[in-house]
Structure 1
Amino acid sequence: MGERQPVKKKKKKFGLFMQQNLLAVFLIVLLAFVGLIVRLVYLNYSVGDKYEKRVLSQQTYMSNAIAFKRGSILDRNGTVLAESIRVYNLILDPLKMQSQNGEYVEPTLKALMKCFEVKEEEVRTILKEKAKSQYVVFQKLIEAEKVEAFKAIQENDKNVQGVWFEDAYKRVYPLKSLACDVVGFNTGGTSTGIESYYNDELTGEDGREYGYFDSDLNLERVVKEATNGNTVVSAIDANIQQIVEKHVAKFNKETGSKNTAVLVMDPRNGEVLAMTSGKQYDLNQPQDLSGIYSKKKLAKMTEEQKLEALNNMWRNFIVSDTFEPGSTFKPVTVAAGLEEAFVKEKTTFYCGGSKRVADRNIHCAVRAGHGTITLSQALMYSCNVALMEIAEKLGPSRMYHFQTNLMFGSRTGIDLPAEATGIIFQKDKIGPTELATLSFGQGFNTSMIQIASAFSSLINGGNYFEPHVLKETRSDSGATIRKKGTNLIKKSVSDTTSGLIRKFLHETVEDGTATAAKIDGYTIGGKTGTAEKYPRGSKKYLVSFIGFAPADNPEAVIYCVVDEPDVADQAHSTFASQLFHDIAQEVYPFLGISKTPEALKQEEKEQAEKEKEEKKKKQEKSEAKKPEAEDGKTPSGTVLESVGDEEAGVQDDVDLPIADETTGASDLIR
């Protein structure tokens, strides 16, 4: 066969119709493109300015935060305990400072170094590393005086550029350490006390200042003002707080202890008037341990030890720590016996010095025994045997119910952070021994605020009020937002039982274990407490006293706890009773608590005798000044004598100062 010839492909040619269609499409595209160009030209020349303005008006060109002012904390009389003062943050604008070929750098750097103790190399590093930035926070919380000094230089030298200031606020505590446990601090992300608990009330909302171009291309500035925080008015009385801290400092200096704490409350409503754990520190410098530890001891501390020391210093012993209350719990057991009708006012007990419980003898404080005693004397002499017999009659169930009804084992609800619940036995865990020791305040843990709140309810007619440190909150303008008011939680005992408890506790101070707490002219009621700490036999004790006045209608409760007094023999509640006495004899007159009618009558008598004696001395002084010559006589023969204001009985109204060993103040806060 011959070779196959390749097939030749025929070239296709567009027909006339196809060529016409392609030309039409091309013309349409060309016309559309020309139309688009014409439209763009039209928009640019006719309405371009309109759209340019619209775009520019949607762009933000400047935005700065405006800091809010944190609310103040006041005492009940308006004394400032915490406030925020105006300060400034220093802002660097490296781009501006280095403009104009850098001619602003040296004059600006010189001014910064003069007014703010700036390190030259630090600024130059920022200028180099952040050359294009217009916002660098360089220093914070600068006082106004330094800022004004810099601005004065800036006004006189136009080459000082690229520095401006933002408003800010600094938290300060004018009274330094006063009421540090209650007020607390708010610094560096850490807060305690009222500053922590009422942070939401005290915190405001930042404002903002920003700028934009309006429809006419004018730069408009809009300011949304900051919303300042609310003012918190506490129930604390700075004067009473000062008195308390003065005496605690004196006790710590003369005797000392692991913890010396005092709480002053109004039993009629649960208000806390004063509170101190005895470890004073300056709220303006809350991380300064030098007030408690020597430089030598601080130098030996590790960072972990310093942190632990700070936490202990900041810890509110009254609210956050628990301990065995000892005999200050005995009024609770007596009240339970009265409420359940297992004992009456005239019930008697026999104390032989100990009581056999299960397989052990539990002793009374008086090993020889108290003999036959009444219910009142059981409290007066703090007899363990009598209290164990009352608890035995009540039984575990009733005793547990009464204990929990008074909020032991639960938080009281006080408006301070980190409140402890305490530790108590559950009902099914209370055996004969646990029941016996529970009756006189051992074998369980409680806090000072729990004891004070329960005790207040026993003496005020049986009303358990929620303890609180807040009196009211106010807006930045001063308007009252809300008042705390009195929160009655429950009825704890009857009026009759409450009256008997007051009577027994008054007799305890008059003739029992608490005679050291007596104050001339006042009727005082109260109870001592001495609790041996674990491990038993270590000879470490927590001693306490809780008292009130007047005995028939209590207006103020003062609770003193001395944890491990710095003495060889710690087991003496007199340390706490005497501290109560020293504080109460100043606090009760300050509060205007009335003395007994007999005391007032005696004071009137003594005052009358004093005035009579002063009058007699003035007459004798006047007689001694009479001239014997006739020159000293008037025409009528009467002797003229000039008498000064003081001799005439006119005196200036002067507040007598009360020294304050802790704050250095020479007078009560006004």
Structure 2
Amino acid sequence: MTFILSIFAGRLIQMQGLDSKVYEAAAADQRQHTETIPAKRGSITDVNGHDLAVTVEAREVSIDPTKVPADVRAKAAAILAQQLGKSEQEIAAKLARTGTHYQLLARDVDPVVATRLLQGPVPALSAKKTYKRLYPAGELAGSLIGFVGDEGNGLGGMEQARNSLLAGRDGEQRVETGRDGQRIPMTSSQRTAPVDGQDVRLTIDRDIQWAAQKSIGEQVRKSEADSGTVIVMDVRTSQIVAMANAPELDLNNWRKAPASRYSNKAAADVFEPGSTNKVITAAAALEAKAVTPDTVYQVPDRIRCADQVLRDAHAHKVEALTFRQAMAQSSNVATVMAARKVGSQKLYEMLKAFGFGSTPGGGVPSAEAGLLPDYRKWSGSQSCTVAYGQGVSVTALQMASVYQTIANGGVRIEPQIVAGTTDATGRFVPAPAGKQTRVVSETTAEEIATMLESAVGEEGTGQLAAIDGYRVAGKTGTANRYDAELGRYEGYTASFVGFAPADDPRLVVLSVVQNPKNGHFGGELAAPVFKDVMTFAIKSKKIPPTGSAAPTVRTRAGQ
């Protein structure tokens, strides 16, 4: 008996002394919980600091159903539903789950509402500090900005592309809680502070973005088109001043929007550019000394290329046209004649130099490379059609970049969408300038600019792009549109892209209208959009007319 008592005594000493710290530690581990302290997401603003995406404080409201008496559940459900914007059935179902101590009632609750509920008659409520994302401008640049999902991660546009920068780093806190989940007073806690996200300032100008969206939206509706795009770009920096799509994504109702609106079509949608591509053929021909602006061609209205007969947009007798006039009148036949003097390899190399077939740098979300087949794989007819923009595919961003290069004296600058960010101290850090590459000589760029100015003149296809008091250079485009769903060409892509002032370029504006039903020519549908947006932009930026007159140029053979 003495032996047995000694064993019990020894075990008691072990439990009270030797093992007490072990049991103490195990009990503490059961009581300790790690709570996440959310970081505040950085803002996205336009170039002038106007908020496009902001984060504000919110509350996550929850309840312990086990502490809500059955006889008050109906009343509690009515109060909670009314305050939280939920249905009474949904709230009542959560209150009935008495097998759990936790039911999430609502996220993104206004702190004032949460405080009112905590001070009200409903028992066992808790409110956790969180943040919610707001988009003050609604659908302004919606697909470019993107949105944030319930877990706090960017799910599209700049929100996704710059997620790690914007999101910051969450902190955490280890606390001791009782069986009811409430924190035990006077117990120790360990806290790691969150690091808030940094702000991102875009190159977008809010007002010009609004004007671009308004103009292209109206034209899409009027022409019954599938969609439309406008890009405004600064010639000297390649900063994107506006990037508009129609229809656009309303960021405050993104869950209800069709998935097709999530895509930033200006950078992601690929299409055959048509005649706006002729400037590249002209650049290749001029650089190779194969033509001059005054080279005269005897131009029929059709030309055979392999097994195809290619035609101009309108039937005509054989005409004597200068290369300048052929560009102004957008002659497919004359463009093919010039391309044949250059050859497929040199034309392909020039397309590559202008950025075709490569994903643009500069941080534009969802930017695509387009499609530029190797010239050795071009079909017989494709070796001709590429010259006027069929058989090669680009994005609106790539085509705007082509005209920025011409307007900038032949120097291509990578398009830029981010003006800068804030560092950890809140100091603004400008983004580095885009990479510069000379594509064509300054002389070639000036000659093309002069031809593009003729295209907006009395004999050109872009007359509806003319702006009173300003010299404008640009080019229309009307291309057959490949429909991937149908697996064939169906409908048209109408476009216009140009710059102003023509003799001292400051801005490039591109407009694209996809699959219009009322009309289909670029000079008819896209040129007026260019005029609207460019007129607004040059006034907004206070760009004065140069005051010079367009040079007298030889357009017709014999003049």
Normalised by the size of structure 1, how large is the TM-score?
Answer: 0.72
Change (3 A) 1:321 1:121: closer
Deviations along 1:412-450, whole A, 9 cap, x unmatched? 235344333322332212354222211111122221111
Q: How does 1:85-484 map to 2 (within 5 A)?
A: 85-97=56-68, 112=80, 115-116=83-84, 126=94, 129-131=97-99, 133-153=100-120, 161-188=123-150, 191-212=155-176, 218-289=186-257, 310-369=258-317, 371-413=319-361, 415-475=363-423, 478-480=426-428, 482-484=429-431
2:435 alignment partner in structure 1 = 488
Q: Distance in 2 between matches of 1:284 and 1:532?
A: 36
2:546 alignment partner in structure 1 = 596
Report if the CA contact (8 A) 1:212-1:221 is conserved.
yes
1:336: Cα distance to partner? 0.8
Residue 541 of structure 1, aligned match among 470, 492, 499: 492
Q: Distance in 2 between matches of 1:546 and 1:243?
A: 17
2:139 partner SS: coil
Change (3 A) 1:167 1:338: same
1:576 alignment partner in structure 2 = 526
Report if the CA contact (8 A) 1:370-1:383 is conserved.
no
Report if the CA contact (8 A) 1:259-1:562 is conserved.
yes
Superposition CA RMSD, Å: 3.4
Q: Distance in 2 between matches of 1:113 and 1:432?
A: 69
Report if the CA contact (8 A) 2:327-2:452 is conserved.
yes
1:365: Cα distance to partner? 3.1
Deviations along 1:138-188, whole A, 9 cap, x unmatched? 32222223212223326xxxxx53211011222221111111121122235
2:466 alignment partner in structure 1 = 518
Q: Distance in 1 between matches of 2:543 and 2:275?
A: 27
**Alignment-mate amino acid for residue 183 of structure 1:** I
1:346: Cα distance to partner? 3.6
Aligned length: 536
Deviations along 1:567-601, whole A, 9 cap, x unmatched? 2x5345222112211221111111122212369xx
Change (3 A) 1:109 1:410: closer
1:109: Cα distance to partner? 6.3
Q: Distance in 1 between matches of 2:16 and 2:363?
A: 68
Give ranges in structure 1 of 5+ residues lacking alignment: 1-25, 155-159, 290-309, 600-670
Report if the CA contact (8 A) 1:518-1:581 is conserved.
yes
1:561 alignment partner in structure 2 = 512
Q: Distance in 1 between matches of 2:103 and 2:416?
A: 44
Q: Distance in 1 between matches of 2:305 and 2:461?
A: 25
Change (3 A) 1:38 1:320: closer
1:84: Cα distance to partner? 1.9
Change (3 A) 1:221 1:585: same
**Alignment-mate amino acid for residue 273 of structure 1:** V
Change (3 A) 1:59 1:457: same
Change (3 A) 1:350 1:211: same
1:330: Cα distance to partner? 0.7
**Alignment-mate amino acid for residue 69 of structure 1:** K
Change (3 A) 1:340 1:106: closer
1:81 partner SS: strand
Greater mean deviation of Cα atoms: 180-189 or 161-170: 180-189
Normalised by the size of structure 2, how large is the TM-score?
Answer: 0.85
Give ranges in structure 2 of 5+ residues lacking alignment: 178-184, 550-559
Report if the CA contact (8 A) 1:181-1:275 is conserved.
no
2:182 alignment partner in structure 1 = none
Q: Distance in 2 between matches of 1:209 and 1:542?
A: 57
1:362 partner SS: strand
1:241: Cα distance to partner? 0.7
Change (3 A) 1:320 1:507: same
Q: Distance in 1 between matches of 2:548 and 2:448?
A: 24
Report if the CA contact (8 A) 2:494-2:522 is conserved.
yes
Change (3 A) 1:43 1:174: closer
Q: Distance in 2 between matches of 1:353 and 1:422?
A: 30
Q: Distance in 1 between matches of 2:361 and 2:488?
A: 35
